[in-house]
Amino acid sequence: MAVKIKNRHRLKEREVKELTNELKTRFHGDFFDSKATFDVGSLEEFTVLLIDDSIDFIMHNNQLVFTLQGLNKYQPSTNFVVVDMGAVVFITKGADVMAPGITDADPLIQKNDLVWICDEKHRKPLVVGVALMTGEEMKTKKPGKAVKTLHYVGDRLWMLTH
């Protein structure tokens, strides 16, 4: 499905370097080929970053956030939260992630970090969100919300890009 990106323009080399350094720092990895093209634009209410014409990131509070498509493509090995299968039905409808449903989490996650959630069986990204507690607190099943959901399978951004 072709989507209409408004105000689309190519990023300058300096901007690309800043973004790649930010991602390298937050997710401890190199994600891009040096020949990749980086464009930014608007898709309805979302500011999106396209890498080689693929919507792999959105901007949220001036931070770069993986889209689910981007997570599947780049497969970062940090900032993950694993939930039990019982939680999947709720979080794929947009619910925030509750700590008792978490079976594992990256112990380096700090409060307010951007994280991605997958299920324990398939390990496929289902949700992108903001950590409301540390990874260690999530693993000890401290009661309450652990992750505020930003983007999930089936939301408007997902529907616009699939």
* pLDDT tens digit sequence for 6-54: 999 999 999 988 888 888 888 877 887 778 899 999 998 889 999 999 9
CATH classification of 6-74, choosing from 1.10.240.10, 3.40.50.920, 3.10.450.120, 2.60.40.10?
A: 3.10.450.120
Rounded CA gap, 8 and 42, in Å? 7
Separation of alpha carbons 14 and 27, rounded Å: 20
Q: Please state which of the four CATH numbers 3.40.50.150, 3.40.50.1010, 2.30.130.10, 2.40.30.10 is assigned to the domain occupying 80-161.
A: 2.30.130.10
**pLDDT tens string 107-138:** 999 999 999 999 999 999 999 999 999 999 99
Tell me what pLDDT residue 78 has: 93
> Which ranges in the chain are annotated with CATH 3.10.450.120?
6-74
CA distances from 82 to 14, 26, 36, 100, 121 (A): 35, 19, 31, 11, 9
Portions of the chain given CATH number 2.30.130.10 = 80-161
